[in-house]
Amino acid sequence: MKARNPGEKLHLNLFVMGNGHHRAAWRHPDSCAERLGDIAYYESLARIAERGKLDALFFADGMSVGSVEDGFHWHLEPLTALSAMSRATRRIGLISTISSTFYTPFHAARLVGSLDHISGGRVGWNVVTSMFDSEARNHGYAAMPPHAERYARAEEFVQTVLALWDSWSDDAIERDRQGRYADPDKVRQIDHHGEHFLVDGPLNLPRPPQGNPVLVQAGASSQGRDLAARYAEAIYAVAYDLEAAQAYYRDIKSRVAAAGRTAPVPILPGLVTYVGSTMEEARAKQRELDDCLPVEASLRQLGLFIEQDCSGWDLDAPVPSLPPLAEFRGPQGRYATILRIVETEQPTLRELLGRLAAGGGHCTMIGTPESIADEMERWFHGRGADGFNLMPPSLPSGIEDFVDQVVPELQRRGLFREEYEAATLRGHFGLERPAG
Amino acid sequence: MKARNPGEKLHLNLFVMGNGHHRAAWRHPDSCAERLGDIAYYESLARIAERGKLDALFFADGMSVGSVEDGFHWHLEPLTALSAMSRATRRIGLISTISSTFYTPFHAARLVGSLDHISGGRVGWNVVTSMFDSEARNHGYAAMPPHAERYARAEEFVQTVLALWDSWSDDAIERDRQGRYADPDKVRQIDHHGEHFLVDGPLNLPRPPQGNPVLVQAGASSQGRDLAARYAEAIYAVAYDLEAAQAYYRDIKSRVAAAGRTAPVPILPGLVTYVGSTMEEARAKQRELDDCLPVEASLRQLGLFIEQDCSGWDLDAPVPSLPPLAEFRGPQGRYATILRIVETEQPTLRELLGRLAAGGGHCTMIGTPESIADEMERWFHGRGADGFNLMPPSLPSGIEDFVDQVVPELQRRGLFREEYEAATLRGHFGLERPAG
């Protein structure tokens, strides 16, 4: 395993999510459940993250409403929210999810490009293809197009957006008050007539400050990993433990190399943290959120995941042993995660419900700033991660804990920047500005 | 003609446009041509307009690049720009154009709804169907769909957006920490399966603060006027003089009444103003901008409009008489405007080029604050206008002149508010919040 270069540092994003990534976070008496539509709340999260010198804020996004009764997190539309948040901050990056299945490339190029101008080059675009029929049925499809078709469209979508951002040369604008505003030879049509899109161009917006806003992806399937390897400049990942993270990391880095690319392409697994000045305090924070879970509904949901009736199980006894994966006939991914948690952590039933309610299959670190920094360092040096996409179980307290306690410990170890050294998201991620 | 109610006041919007509505404004030595991508520039315009207690800021929008050499105004994408501008202001409304031909209703409902949440209920949506093949060819169409088809789509689009905004009842959210986040019976699918759109809903955003963000339209064709009469809550108009304004005003108000609506539906013609402390000073400001026009290119363009070679004409002599409209075989609208200007203003050729370069067929008022207020009052009491969509020939100076000189004169006459009385755009326009 190649050692890290001296001075090489972690990259940290804040994954912005309602009142936090624990499904019951909004139920906590101190939660900001009243502020999910209040832009000042999101701005305050952004300022906390910037105080911690984080690389970027990240909004996931979906196109439909789930259950509004329990684990529901609605949020403002990411692009409009991030525009406001850009004015409440100066350096931190701003990453929005946009679905290639539901937007047109021209809208995506323009919205993201405009936000890059507004923020002075701090924008990233997380390319997703979306998953659910309920989303498709809000945008004219009777059902979600098949996986392969979505990815074929996504690739053409990305190519078209890149071409639109490049449709103005950096030096197109002359602003000669006695002559021309711009050189028409440097503002070119792209004449894209592909299988999924017809886009003549040029974009009605000069080249974004970053050239291309940063492309982010979270490829899990083989097709997704290939798309990420060819285009992504930073990658979000799901890894339950270091071993899983290392396998994903190796696979992606080799695909990136095979695609002939030399860019760093940082890989950032999701990370749920409970931080306390002692392990007991950290555990108590976790328990406090877990105790907010409505037990009956959670048991019902677990019952669906494992296809057993667990309503009679003892909440404070260890989870009974479960049939092996090979014998399970329902959806495999979630069941595998549950088996993994039960085997490695030997949780009580109550603890299992809590773990599933907060970032499920994502890595969870519980402890002191020192023990969490140890663990993050192990992932970093063990090449399971180039950084993390922070998923605080509750917001704002979870990101305050991280920024005020873990970040200084990482800085003390030389693992994280003490000040921003760049003004753009590309700069934070160590990416070159493309020549165009 | 029905007299105005005592206390009835004008509504004023600022039509935000690059360096101003005069095509040569960017060429002026003092112009902000360097700041077209600088959000702080737009924020400063917003603050000036809010200092003047204007009802709203308005962004027009298009989906393609015109000539980048001469009269080119690019601007930031309106929704992202307005989100930032909302945080630089407290009361002024924020109206974005969105094309029903190129967006999906779900995106439009969500983006506009999100901005309404962010701004605390200050948003309006100017519904357009777009016009140019160059725009269509950036969004997958080989050419612009026919007019009738665009309007049929627009109507279904508006209905769908309204249904999505209504998909959450005002009292859907319970936020009961021991119970439910929201009442699932009050978050309903819309199940819209129409000719142009399939949208199940509900929207993934609670009802906007205004219930419905304000619908704005600018119907010119008969189909456009009908759409406006059925749905618009404020209307932008093009009227060269009071007579034309009155004809349009009467027609729209009777169509609104025929549609069974009692809402006020303010009609706001575009208005270009040159303000000076004397008429000479106002004329000098106009001349200063007109002198920035590149003469050859302007003559070439005029030649295309009137289908004559005018390159040999004397710039400082009156425009030669032109053939009547009936004998003209090119596009009628612009030619009619040119005839009208030549007949009523007897301009020199240089003056005509200037008039065409600044708001062409829109009303232009040149003079002192008093004379302009007189004229606006005449339009208001003569029921040609319920207010105006201000199109300053140069920005920011043109809106500063208006806010600092004309607004106080209107206020002195009781024709314009001295303070905001409402917190929402609906409130500024005197519109009720729909019950949903």
- What's CA B155's distance to the chain center, in Å? 20
**Which pLDDT band, with edges at 50, 70 and 90, does B220 fall under?**
confident
Task: Give the containing element (helix H, strand E) for A427.
Answer: helix A425-429
Q: What are phi and psi of A98, to 5 degrees?
A: -135, 130
Task: Give the containing element (helix H, strand E) for B10.
Answer: none
Is A344 annotated to bind a ligand? Reply is: no
B102 contacts chain A (CB < 8 A): yes
CA distance B16 to chain A (A): 16
- For chain B, the straight-line distance linking the first and the last C-alpha, in angstroms and rounded, comes to 34
Nearest CA in chain B to A28: B177
| pLDDT, tens digit, 9 for 90 and up, residues B154-198 | 999 999 999 999 999 999 999 999 999 999 999 999 999 999 999
Mean pLDDT over A418-433 rounds to 98
- For chain A, the straight-line distance linking the first and the last C-alpha, in angstroms and rounded, comes to 34
Assign residue B377 a region: left if phi > 0, alpha if psi is -120 to 50, beta otherwise?
alpha
Percent of chain B past pLDDT 70, that is, above it, reads 99
Question: What's chain B's length in residues?
Answer: 436
- pLDDT at residue A67, as a whole number: 76
Nearest CA in chain A to B167: A65
The Cβ-side half-sphere exposure at B323, using a 13 Å CA radius, reads: 11
Helices vs. strands in chain A: H and E counts, helices first: 15, 11
Averaged confidence pLDDT in chain B: 95
Mean pLDDT over A339-363 rounds to 91
pLDDT above 90 for A330: no
* Cα–Cα dist A246/A408, whole Å: 26
Q: In the A/B pair of chains, how many CB contacts fall below 8 A? A: 193
Is A151 annotated to bind a ligand? Reply is: yes
ipTM given for this complex: 0.96
Alpha carbon distances (Å) from A1 to A251, A378, A380, A415, B221 = 14, 13, 11, 18, 70
How big is the CA angle at A153 (ends A149 and A156), to the nearest 5 degrees?
Answer: 145
Cβ–Cβ gap A104/B140 under 8 Å: yes
Rg, C-alpha atoms of chain B? 22
B62 contacts chain A (CB < 8 A): yes
A63 contacts chain B (CB < 8 A): yes
**Which pLDDT band, with edges at 50, 70 and 90, does A208 fall under?**
very high
* Cα–Cα dist A140/A137, whole Å: 6
| pLDDT, tens digit, 9 for 90 and up, residues A58-111 | 999 999 987 777 766 788 999 999 999 999 999 999 999 999 999 999 999 999
* Cα–Cα dist A274/A253, whole Å: 30
* Cα–Cα dist A136/A124, whole Å: 24
Q: Using an 8 Å Cβ cutoff, are B22 and B71 in contact?
A: no
- pLDDT at residue B71, as a whole number: 60
pLDDT above 70 for B351: yes
Mean pLDDT over A328-333 rounds to 83
Residue A40 burial (C-beta neighbours within 10 Å; 0-12, 13-18, 19+): exposed
Task: Give me the helix-helix angle, A349-357 and A332-345, nearest 10°.
Answer: 130
* Residue type (1 letter), B200: D
- pLDDT at residue B65, as a whole number: 87
pLDDT above 70 for B352: yes
Is A183 annotated to bind a ligand? Reply is: no
Cβ–Cβ gap A69/B199 under 8 Å: no
Tokens of A218: 């979270």
CA distance A352 to chain B (A): 21
Domains and CATH numbers, chain B: 11-276+368-429 (3.20.20.30), 278-360 (no CATH)
CA distance B199 to chain A (A): 4
Nearest CA in chain B to A72: B181
Buried b / exposed e over B21-30, threshold 16 CB at 10 Å, is bbbbbbbbee
* Cα–Cα dist A373/B289, whole Å: 63
Closest to B361 (Cα-Cα) out of B274, B245, B275, B280: B245
* Cα–Cα dist A303/A71, whole Å: 17
* Cα–Cα dist A17/A165, whole Å: 29
| pLDDT, tens digit, 9 for 90 and up, residues B44-73 | 999 999 999 999 999 999 999 877 777 667
DSSP helix/strand/coil, A270:
strand
CA distance A130 to chain B (A): 15
Selected residues 374-433 of chain B with any CB under 8 Å from a CB in chain A: none
- pLDDT at residue B219, as a whole number: 81
Cβ–Cβ gap A198/B137 under 8 Å: yes
Nearest CA in chain A to B67: A184
Q: Which residues of A touch B175 (CB under 8 A)?
A: 26, 33-34
Least confident stretch, B29-33, B93-97, B341-345: B341-345
Cβ–Cβ gap A134/B200 under 8 Å: yes
Q: Using an 8 Å Cβ cutoff, are A356 and A338 in contact?
A: yes
**Which pLDDT band, with edges at 50, 70 and 90, does A313 fall under?**
very high
DSSP helix/strand/coil, B242:
helix
Q: Using an 8 Å Cβ cutoff, are B132 and B62 in contact?
A: yes
- pLDDT at residue A337, as a whole number: 87
Q: Which residues of B touch A27 (CB under 8 A)?
A: 177-178
Nearest CA in chain B to A87: B84
> Chain A interface, mutation test: which of B68, B141, B175, most A Cβ atoms within 10 Å?
B68
B296 contacts chain A (CB < 8 A): no
| pLDDT, tens digit, 9 for 90 and up, residues A239-259 | 999 999 999 999 999 999 999
B27 contacts chain A (CB < 8 A): yes
**Which pLDDT band, with edges at 50, 70 and 90, does B37 fall under?**
very high
Percent of chain A past pLDDT 90, that is, above it, reads 89
Cβ–Cβ gap B33/A142 under 8 Å: no
- pLDDT at residue A71, as a whole number: 60
- pLDDT at residue B67, as a whole number: 76
A200 contacts chain B (CB < 8 A): yes
**Which pLDDT band, with edges at 50, 70 and 90, does B301 fall under?**
confident
pLDDT above 80 for B403: yes
Buried b / exposed e over A372-382, threshold 16 CB at 10 Å, is bbebbbebbee
Is A404 annotated to bind a ligand? Reply is: no
CA distance A295 to chain B (A): 11
